[in-house]
Amino acid sequence: YEVTLFLHQVVADLPPAQQAMINHVRRGDAALDGSRLLVVEDDVRNVFALMSLLEPRGAKVQVARNGLEALAVLEGSLQPAGAPLDLVLLYIMMPERAGLTAMREIRRRPEWRNLPIIALTAKAMKTDHMQALTAGANDYMAKPLDVDRLLSLVRIWMPK
């Protein structure tokens, strides 16, 4: 308690610009701050969980409910008024253009060949992992999602 109180006092004595910088670091995650992520998932509970994890760390999250919507969001990001996306979190099992099919279509486009994609799935078999990587995922994570590992993967694949 005394250490916390001391550190708070030290920060309070700093100039406002330095206080703002320290508060910014405490609030966010430097790797995610200002990043634009696309979450492709049809289960609203999973979408909520991912948004609750990523947005407080400074990420701007867009959502698509299936592979078709994901491709539409990606198309929109290429438009003059659109903002490019930094990373895609894509669930494999979805209606209307499942994740593997959507990944293959994304990778066919030259402008998205280097877009990081992390595949998320309930299946944890080695063959599922290989299918996702072959379809174009940069990485793969099985449910239940380990929050710390997911954040680590996002930081690793986030363009610098």
Question: Any idea where the domains of the chain sit in the sequence?
Answer: 1-28, 31-157
Query: Residue 50 burial by CB count (10 A; 0-12/13-18/19+): exposed, middle or buried?
Result: buried
pLDDT tens for the 160 residues of the chain, in order: 344 444 455 656 777 777 666 655 555 467 788 999 999 998 899 999 999 999 999 999 999 999 999 999 999 999 998 899 999 999 987 766 688 999 999 999 999 999 999 999 887 777 888 889 999 999 999 888 899 999 999 999 998 7
C-beta separation of 94 from 42 below 8 A: yes
**Whether the model pTM is above 0.85:** no
AA identity, residue 51 = M
CATH of domain 31-157: 3.40.50.2300
DSSP type of residue 145: P
Gyration radius of the chain over CA positions: 18
Bridge-based pairing of strands 36-40 and 117-121 is: unpaired
